[in-house]
Amino acid sequence: MAEEHTTLSKAVTTDDFNARVAKRIGELSAVANAFREWKEASNAFQELEALLQDPSTDDELRTLASGEIKSSTKDLTRATNTLTTALIPKHPFADLPCLLEIRPGAGGGEAALFAGDLLRMYRSYCSRRRFRVSLLKLEHATASTGSGGSSSSSGGAEVPLQEAILEIDTVGAYGELRCEAGVHRVQRIPATEAKGRTHTSAASVMVLPSIPNLKGSSGGDDGTTSHDWEDPSSDYYIDPKEVRTDVMRARGAGGQHVNTTDSAVRLTHLPTNTVVSMQDFRSQPKNREKAWLLMRSKLAQARRDAREDEALRLRRGIIGAAQMGRGDKIRTYNWSQQRVTDHRSGVSVHDLDDVLGGGEALEKVMRSVRTWLAERDMDSLLVDDDGIK
């Protein structure tokens, strides 16, 4: 890879500029730089080690080498870790914007309230990171959820959430937030609990890659298309003949368009029975556009997950360690202990308010999961390499 980087770097200096080549150079630069640093650190360590093992080395030079060998070992370890990280292939959706979907799970009305807490947490996080975020869909739970809009021990009278979708239109948002996908569990005492017992409920978070350009695809300066939805081999491709479209009156309270025009749109992908609906905009074309965006994102993620599940099934026997599935809880928020624990990385923080406020404590937890994901990817690469051998 380092040799390829050097060869391409020489080629791109000519007058015949190629955007595809320039992009490839950018992808290889991290590996090339990391390999150069590792090679320098390795050579320095080997020279010092050779001096210490050579019986003809004079005492003064041996003393100097002994003093430098510790720092050289640290430099080599750091360079090795950097090179290892650089060798991990980037996730194919890492540079894309994303859609973040939140739904209450087990726990009735308390789960719906917790889903609202997660929505506010992610909106605060995106605001702090200066991500461009908009609320694509918002549905509140009805009184039939059992909560009646009552407040929990988190404080404040809040409306239970049925479903929310955030559109985070920032390059690289998927790579930053994909670690949040899974089941989030909460342990706290609801305000309606007379005996002060702690209840456990959950909410699910789904992170989907979003298509940057709604008009077609994200293309480079040379006309290449990396996510062309007209290409049958693309994860985003959908045969229009396989989608049933239904239009209906928008449901809910408020707004002159509600129950007066057929502005709501529901799409059903018949082969997979995937259903999405959109009614948050006054115009039917706008709802249709956003519904198609959500449908493409859901199917692209499902196709990617299917490939990863198949690869995981083949590797599991070699790795020998159980991998946490998407259906398992990934994180616990404990109100009484003011603790947040991520069950993948094993990291716990005792600053619940800062986590729910989208602050540095949440970033610390997310950073630990990204490291865990990188280590898992590296294990997969090692297994693949052993399989080839």
Residue 339, number of CB atoms within 10 A of its CB: 16
Give pLDDT tens digits for 326-362. Answer: 347 899 999 999 999 999 999 999 999 999 999 999 9
Number of helices (H) and strands (E), helices first, in the chain? 8, 11
Identify the pLDDT of residue 333. Answer: 97
Percentage of residues in the chain with pLDDT exceeding 90? Answer: 29
pLDDT level of residue 116 (50, 70, 90 thresholds): very high
Rounded mean pLDDT of 123-135? 95
Residue 109's pLDDT is 86
pTM above 0.75, yes or no: no
Displacement of CA 383 from its chain's centroid (Å): 23
Give residue 153's pLDDT.
Answer: 44
For helices 360-388 and 59-87, the axis angle rounded to 10 degrees is 90
Judged against a pLDDT cut of 80, whether residue 77 lies above it is answered with yes
The DSSP bridge partners found for residue 219 are 225
Helices 59-87 and 19-53 meet at what angle, rounded to 10?
150
Count of alpha carbons within 13 angstroms of residue 19, beta-carbon side: 7
Over range 308-315, report the average pLDDT.
58
Q: Is 349 helix (H, G, I), strand (E, B) or coil?
A: strand
Residue 32 · residue 73 · CB < 8 Å: no
Contact 352, 335 (CB under 8 A): yes
Q: What confidence category does residue 280 fall into, taking pLDDT thresholds of 50, 70 and 90?
A: confident
For residue 309, give both structure tokens.
């599940």
Contacts of residue 340, Cβ cutoff 8 Å, sequence gap at least 6: 331, 332, 333, 334, 348, 349, 351, 352, 355, 361, 362, 365
CA dihedral 154, 157, 159, 164 (to 10 degrees): -40
The residue ranking higher by pLDDT, 159 or 203, is 203
Lowest mean per-residue pLDDT among 60-69, 160-169, 171-180, 249-258:
249-258
Neighbouring CB atoms inside 10 A of 364's CB total 16
| Confidence at residue 113, expressed as pLDDT on a 0 to 100 scale | 92
136, exposed or middle or buried, with CB in 10 Å at 0-12, 13-18, 19+? buried
Task: Report pLDDT for 226.
Answer: 42
In the predicted structure, residue 210 carries a pLDDT above the cut 80: yes
Q: What is the mean pLDDT of the chain?
A: 77
Condensed to tens digits (0 to 9), the pLDDT of residues 168-191 reads: 999 899 999 999 999 999 999 887
335 burial via Cβ count (<10 Å: 0-12, 13-18, 19+): middle
Please write the tens of the pLDDT for every residue from 12-67. Answer: 555 555 556 555 556 667 777 888 888 898 998 898 888 888 888 888 888 888 88
Instruction: Find how far residue 174's CA is from the centre of its chain.
Output: 5
106: which DSSP letter?
S
pLDDT at 129: 95
Above 60 in pLDDT, residue 111? yes
Q: How far apart are CA 233 and CA 100, in angstroms?
A: 25
Beta strand pairing call for 243-248 and 264-269: antiparallel
pLDDT of residue 114: 94
Burial, 92: exposed, middle or buried (Cβ in 10 Å; 0-12, 13-18, 19+)?
middle
Band (pLDDT 50/70/90 cuts) for residue 238 is confident
d(CA 214, CA 229): 10
Q: Is the alpha carbon torsion for 154, 158, 159, 165 positive or negative? A: negative
What pLDDT shows up at residue 339? 96
Question: What distance in Å separates the CA atoms of residue 207 and residue 84, rounded to the nearest whole number?
Answer: 26
CA distance 204 to 251: 24
**Does residue 214 surpass a pLDDT of 60?**
no
